[in-house]
Amino acid sequence: MCGIVGYIGKTQKGADIVLDGLAALEYRGYDSAGLAFLDKSNAIVVSKQVGRVQALRTALTQTKTALSTSTTIGQTRWATHGAPSITNAHPHYNADRTITVVHNGIIENHQELREHLEDKGYKFVSDTDTEVIPHLIDYYTHECKTFGQAVEKSLGKLRGAYAVLVMTSKQPDTLYAARLSSPLVIGIKKDAIFIASDATALIEHTKEVVYLNDYELATLKQDGTYTVKDYKRSLYINRDTETLDYDAQESNLGNFPHYMLKEMHEAPDTIRMATSGRIRLQNNTVKLGGLESVADQLKYIDRVVIVACGTSYYAGLVGEYLIEELAGIPVEVQLASEFKYRNEPFSRGTAIVAISQSGETADTIAALKKVENYGVLRLGVVNAVGSTIARITDAGVYCHAGPEQAVASTKAFIAQVTVLTLIALHLSQGKSPLFKPILNELAALPAKTEAILAQAEAIKKLADKYKDYNDFLFIGRTYGYPCAHEGALKLKEVSYIHAEAYAAGEMKHGPLAMIDESFPTLAVATDSPVLEKTLSNMQEIKARKGKIIAIASEGNTSVKKLASDVLYIPESPEQTQPILIALVEQLFAYYVALANGHDVDRPRNLAKSVTVE
């Protein structure tokens, strides 16, 4: 979703730095882009475009002043209030353009504030909720002694979620940045400060960062100094910097045409990174350093509730099967957006596990906040290091998949399922008879994902064959059931083809009615104790002239007798098959989308990091 970037420092490259930062945040999804800078006479200049950051860059290269700017703020907007248009694009400003603001999130009480300001004579030009902020600050500058106090007072009036950057011509050597439920990270370098929605936008310049927490206002100075104030508690905060543990190159496309393809090709390394230092084959142990601080509490856990959204939710469903089977602890998986509005009883023996690639998903954060005072253990399975979910949970296990930039999650799902397997093994305390075989299999999986990637051409051929169907059904049983869901989600989000997922056993309870020759099914029919049942479901589909693409285990001979086409995964225990099945499904969805000419990395209407509810 929206991304914001700001720069203040001694160089005159502010516009370039912010444009590069916005380009690095393009993966989050957006429909317009804009920036504001102070010109030589410290007047605010604003430039906005509908469409890509490149269009903004092109427009700016024609403005000579933009080539030598210092303090600059910019934003990529994903429309919420008001259509994508130049007027609604950020930055927004007050009437005399002395105050300008970029904002991520939603100001829930914007209507009320707008009416109040209109009564005071303020005129609005856009349909956005954001525009109330510069006017409100303007209003309070007449009441407050300093501009900083006016910013702080205005923040106190805003409800909802925000990450905001405020720039003013009244104080050209200062930028203000504040957050509530929307991420902001400050990058620190000698004589320069960078600020952005996520570290991808600033890692090219520095690895030293400070994450802002809710209700914190940072005052950033041109000489590279800054202060952070908790404006709710009126306290100045002294926070140590953290060092980012990845490089700018990891965010680059390299020789791949798309991030989605690059990230699927990272599957072998993703598994290696997620298991590195955590599995000890010699002495049959799993070591999860991130859970050590809560080891005593974990001993008394009698219920696990997993909360997540989208692909992370489906990873959670795989986790449910794994933790129940390996550790014998009952698990429930809930959509974070539903969880937060439910009134269900909790005991102290419950552990809430939030799964999130970005660590910034608003619904998942809200779910964790809901149980803040319940006395339950809150754990995270998060990819983005230092993200909000990583910081607000009591403990957790990082996925270590590196930055994921394609909107469709691929390697993060693989990392999440790998980590959930480790957690299930850890919770089983070595007692499950499956402990050793699965531990060994985790070490063997990278090579098996390589074998799947080597079949990319065959998967592409199949995608070309099926690209024109309007509907797809995905079915599976037990560990294959979450895979059916994840496969359907991947196909619909990148190819826009209608795809539904069902537990194969549900076919006769309704979905079978849809089946005819125009409605193909992708059946997860890998080797497992329930394969025969799935084969019966495939028989029923075939009898109704339904075409079937099956995903089967290598060496199996019965599946191909029923399926129109078969894709094989290397043999693996059913508990670890989801990692391999998902990769096949991801490649299939990618090639269908490509064959249909879609922008696979940035599917329409979607954003990577869903920071509003």
- Residues classed as catalytic: 2, 608
Q: In terms of CB distance, is 327 or 607 closer to ligand F6R?
A: 607
Residue where the block lists tokens 């940072």: 218
Give the pair of three-digit tokens for residue 281.
């084959």
Q: How many residues bind ligand F6R (CB under 6 A)?
A: 14
Collapsed DSSP state (helix, strand, coil) of residue 139 = helix
Q: In terms of CB distance, is 308 or 563 closer to ligand F6R?
A: 308
Q: In terms of CB distance, is 309 or 579 closer to ligand F6R?
A: 309
Please pick, from the candidates 219, 409, 449, 586, the single residue that binds ligand F6R as defined by CB under 6 A.
Answer: 409
Please pick, from the candidates 171, 334, 361, 575, the single residue that binds ligand F6R as defined by CB under 6 A.
Answer: 361
The amino acid at 283: N
Binding of residue 541 to ligand F6R (CB under 6 A): no
Kindly report each contact of residues 188-193 with a partner whose C-beta sits within 8 Å and lies 24 or more positions away, as own/partner: 188/224, 188/226, 188/241, 189/9, 189/224, 190/224, 191/9, 191/10, 191/223, 191/224, 192/7, 192/8, 192/9, 192/10, 192/11, 192/224, 193/7, 193/8, 193/9, 193/220, 193/221, 193/224, 193/226
464-478 residues labelled b (16+ CB within 10 A) or e (exposed): ebbbebeebbbbbbb
Please pick, from the candidates 73, 309, 522, 535, the single residue that binds ligand F6R as defined by CB under 6 A.
Answer: 309
Give the pair of three-digit tokens for residue 30.
């957006």
Query: For strand 377-382 and strand 471-476, is the pairing parallel, antiparallel, or unpaired?
Result: unpaired
Shortest distance, CB of residue 578 to ligand F6R, whole angstroms? 15
Q: Which helix (H) or strand (E) holds 451?
A: helix 435-453
Q: In terms of CB distance, is 168 or 270 closer to ligand F6R?
A: 270
Shortest distance, CB of residue 603 to ligand F6R, whole angstroms? 9
Q: Cβ–Cβ contacts within 10 Å for residue 13, how many? A: 18
Q: In terms of CB distance, is 47 or 611 closer to ligand F6R?
A: 611
d(CA 568, CA 59): 50
The amino acid at 111: Q
Q: In terms of CB distance, is 388 or 528 closer to ligand F6R?
A: 388
Q: In terms of CB distance, is 174 or 361 closer to ligand F6R?
A: 361
Please pick, from the candidates 312, 393, 418, 586, the single residue that binds ligand F6R as defined by CB under 6 A.
Answer: 312
Give the pair of three-digit tokens for residue 472.
């797809």
Close Cβ partners of 358 (under 8 Å, ≥ 6 residues apart): 198, 383, 384, 387, 608, 609, 610
Shortest distance, CB of residue 364 to ligand F6R, whole angstroms? 5
Give the pair of three-digit tokens for residue 532.
């025969």
Kindly report each contact of residues 442-445 with a partner whose C-beta sits within 8 Å and lies 24 or more positions away, as own/partner: 442/271, 442/275, 442/279, 442/418, 442/576, 443/275, 443/279, 443/281, 444/572, 445/271, 445/418, 445/572, 445/576, 445/579, 445/580
- Candidates 54-62, 171-179, 241-249, 307-315; binding stretch for ligand F6R (CB under 6 A): 307-315
Within positions 467 to 526, which residues make up the interface with ligand F6R, using CB under 6 A? 489, 493
Rounded to 10°, the helix 267-275/435-453 angle is 160
Is residue 379 within 8 A of residue 294, CB to CB? The reply is: yes
Shortest distance, CB of residue 489 to ligand F6R, whole angstroms? 6
- Candidates 99-107, 275-283, 358-366, 540-548; binding stretch for ligand F6R (CB under 6 A): 358-366
SS (H, E, C) 172-195: CCEEEEEEECCCCEEEEECCEEEE
Q: In terms of CB distance, is 408 or 438 closer to ligand F6R?
A: 408
- Candidates 92-100, 290-298, 303-311, 566-574; binding stretch for ligand F6R (CB under 6 A): 303-311
- Candidates 183-191, 288-296, 352-360, 589-597; binding stretch for ligand F6R (CB under 6 A): 352-360
Please pick, from the candidates 49, 69, 104, 357, the single residue that binds ligand F6R as defined by CB under 6 A.
Answer: 357
Binding of residue 311 to ligand F6R (CB under 6 A): yes
Shortest distance, CB of residue 529 to ligand F6R, whole angstroms? 29
* Interaction mask 109-148, ligand F6R, x per CB under 6 A: ----------------------------------------
Binding of residue 358 to ligand F6R (CB under 6 A): yes
Shortest distance, CB of residue 496 to ligand F6R, whole angstroms? 14
Q: Where along the sequence are the contacts to ligand F6R (CB under 6 A)?
A: 309-312, 356-358, 361, 364, 408-409, 489, 493, 610
